Amino acid sequence: MNALNVVPPEIGCLTELRLLDLRQNNLKKLPMELCASTDTIGTLTPSARKDSTISSRLVNTFAGSLRNLIMAENQLDDDVFDEIKYLSELRILNLSYNDLNDIPSQSIRCWPQLVELYLSGNELTSLPSDDFEEFSLLQVLHINGNKFQTLPAELGKAHRLAVLDCGSNSLKYNVSNWPYDWNWNWNTNLKYLNLSGNKRLEIKPSLPNGSSSARDGRDLTDFSALGNLRILGLMDVTLTIERIPDQTEDRRVRTSGSLAGQLAYGMADTLGKNDHLSLIDMVVPRFQSNENETLLGMFDGQSLSNAGSKIAKYLHENFGHTLQEEMKKLNLNSTPKENPGDALRRTFLSLNKDLATAATQHTQDRSISSHRGSAAPAVLSQADLRSGGVATVMFLQGSELYVANVGDAQAMLIHSEGSHRILTSKHYPAEFHERQRIRDAGGWVSRQGKLNDILDVSRAFGYVQLIPAVQAAPYVTHVTVKEQDEMILIASKELWEYLSPELVVDIARNERDDLMRAAQKLRDLAMAFGATNKIMVMMIGVSDLKKRANIRPHRVQSMSLNPGAIVDDGYAPAKRVKRKGNGVGDSVLNRLDTEIAAPEGEVGIVFTDIKSSTLLWETYPEAMRAAIRLHNDLLRRQLRIIGGYEVKTEGDAFMVSFPTATSALLWAFAVQSALLEVPWPSEILTSILGQEIYDTDSNLIFKGLSVRMGIHWGRPVCEMDPVTKRMDYFGPMVNRTSRISNVADGGQITVSADFISEIQRCLETYSESDRNGSTGSEEEYGNDLVAAAIRRELRSLSSQGFEVKDIGERKLKGLENPEYIYLMYPHSLSGRIQYQQQLLQNEKAAAAAGEQPASLSQKTKLSIDTDTVWALWAVSLRLEMLCSSLEGDKGKTSALQAPETAVLERMKQKGGEVTDRFLDRVYLDIEHTTISLQVKRNKRGVFRGFFFYYILLLWHAFTIITF
Lowest mean pLDDT among 210-224, 739-753, 936-950: 936-950
Decide which of 844, 866, 883 is a domain's last residue: 844
Print the domain residue range for 622.
594-768+787-844
Count of the separate structural domains present in the chain:
2
Indicate the helix (H) or strand (E) that contains 295: strand 293-301
Q: State how far the Cα of 572 lies from the Cα of 544, in Å rounded to an integer.
A: 9
| Residue 495 included in any domain | yes
Burial letters for 940-961: b for 16+ Cβ neighbours within 10 Å, e otherwise?
eeeeeeeeeeebeebbeebeee
C-alpha dist (Å) from residue 509 to 104, 513, 541, 546, 578: 33, 8, 11, 20, 14
- The answer as to whether 857 is a domain residue is no
- Does 896 fall in a domain? no
Query: Do 540 and 601 sit in the same domain of this protein?
Result: no
**Spatial distance between the Cα atoms of 616 and 628, rounded to a whole number of angstroms:** 11
Same-domain pairing of 598 and 543 = no
Percentage of the chain surpassing pLDDT 70?
A: 77
Stretch 530-535: mean pLDDT? 93
Residue 674: inside a domain: yes
The verdict on residue 541 lying in a domain is yes
pLDDT in tens, 538-555: 999 998 776 555 554 433
Cβ partners under 8 Å of residue 785, min gap 6: 574
Tell which of 491, 517, 549 closes a domain: 549
Same structural domain, 625 and 753: yes
Question: Domain with 639 in it: what CATH number?
Answer: 3.30.70.1230
486 plus 603 within the same structural domain: no
**Are residues 545 and 630 both part of a single domain?**
no
SS3 category, 888: coil
Q: Is the pLDDT of residue 42 over 90?
A: no
Instruction: Dump pLDDT digits (tens) for 867-923.
Output: 777 777 777 777 777 776 665 554 455 555 666 566 656 665 555 566 666 666 676
Confidence of residue 56 (pLDDT cuts 50, 70, 90): low
8 Å CB contact between 402 and 330: no
Residues 792 and 718 occupy one common structural domain:
yes
Residues 604 and 482 in one domain: no
Query: Do 638 and 712 fall into the same domain?
Result: yes
Amino acid at residue number 59: V
841 forms beta bridges with none
336 — pLDDT class (breaks 50, 70, 90): confident
Contacts of 383 (CB under 8 A, 6+ apart): 304
Task: Report the predicted TM-score, pTM, of the whole model to 2 decimal places.
Answer: 0.78
- Percent composition of the chain: helix, strand, coil (DSSP 3-state, to 5): 35, 20, 45
Report which residue type is found at 521. Answer: K
Mean pLDDT of the chain: 81
More confident of the two residues 360 and 24 = 24
Task: State residue 894's pLDDT score.
Answer: 56
Say whether both 511 and 443 belong to one domain: yes
Around Cβ 395, how many Cβ atoms within 10 Å? Answer: 23
Percentage of residues in the chain having pLDDT higher than 90: 46
Distance CA 548, CA 286 (A): 11
Confirm whether 571 is domain-assigned.
Answer: no
On the question of pLDDT at 810 being above 90, the answer is no
Are residues 666 and 680 in contact, defined by beta-carbon separation less than 8 angstroms?
no
Write the DSSP string, 599-643: P-SSEEEEEEEETTHHHHHHH-HHHHHHHHHHHHHHHHHHHHHHT
573-605 pLDDT per residue, tens: 334 344 444 455 566 777 777 889 999 999 999
User: Is the confidence at residue 105, as pLDDT, over 50?
Assistant: yes
The reply to whether 539 and 653 lie within a common domain is: no
Tell me: do 538 and 606 sit in the same domain.
no
> Which of 830, 835, 832 has its CA nearest to residue 802?
830
Is residue 514 domain-shared with residue 630, that is, in the same domain? no
Given a cut of 80, is residue 566 above it in pLDDT?
no
* CATH code of the domain in which 411 resides: 3.60.40.10
CB of 887 within 8 A of CB of 621? yes
* More confidently predicted of 11 and 504: 504
178-206 average pLDDT score: 90
Q: Reduced to 3 states, what is the DSSP secondary structure of residue 282?
A: strand
Q: Classify residue 395: in a domain, yes or no.
A: yes
Q: Which residue has the higher pLDDT, 576 or 537?
A: 537
E strand or H helix that includes residue 301: strand 293-301
pLDDT tens digits along 346-369: 999 999 998 887 644 444 444 433
Judged by average pLDDT, the poorest of 30-34, 166-170, 391-395, 558-562 is: 558-562
User: Between 873 and 808, whose confidence is greater?
Assistant: 808
More confident residue, 832 or 947: 832
Helices 784-800 & 753-765 angle (0-180, nearest 10)? 100
Residue 385 is predicted with a pLDDT of 77
Contact 666, 693 (CB under 8 A): no
Domain-located, residue 840: yes
β-strand pairing of 461-462 with 388-397: antiparallel
Rounded Cα–Cα distance for residues 538 and 396 (Å): 15
Per-residue pLDDT reduced to its tens digit, 693-745: 999 888 999 999 999 999 999 999 999 988 888 999 999 999 999 999 999 99
What stretches of 83-178 adopt beta strand conformation (E)?
92-94, 116-118, 140-142, 163-165
pLDDT of 906 reads: 60
Mean pLDDT computed over 514-534: 95
List, for residues 617-647, the tens digit of each pLDDT value: 988 888 999 999 999 999 999 999 999 999 9
Model confidence at 81, pLDDT cuts 50, 70, 90, reads: very high
Per-residue burial over 166-185, b if 16 or more Cβ lie within 10 Å, else e, is bbbbebebbbbbbeebbbbb
* Separation between Cα atoms, residue 961 and residue 963, nearest integer Å: 6
Asked if the model's pLDDT at residue 563 lies above 70, the reply is no
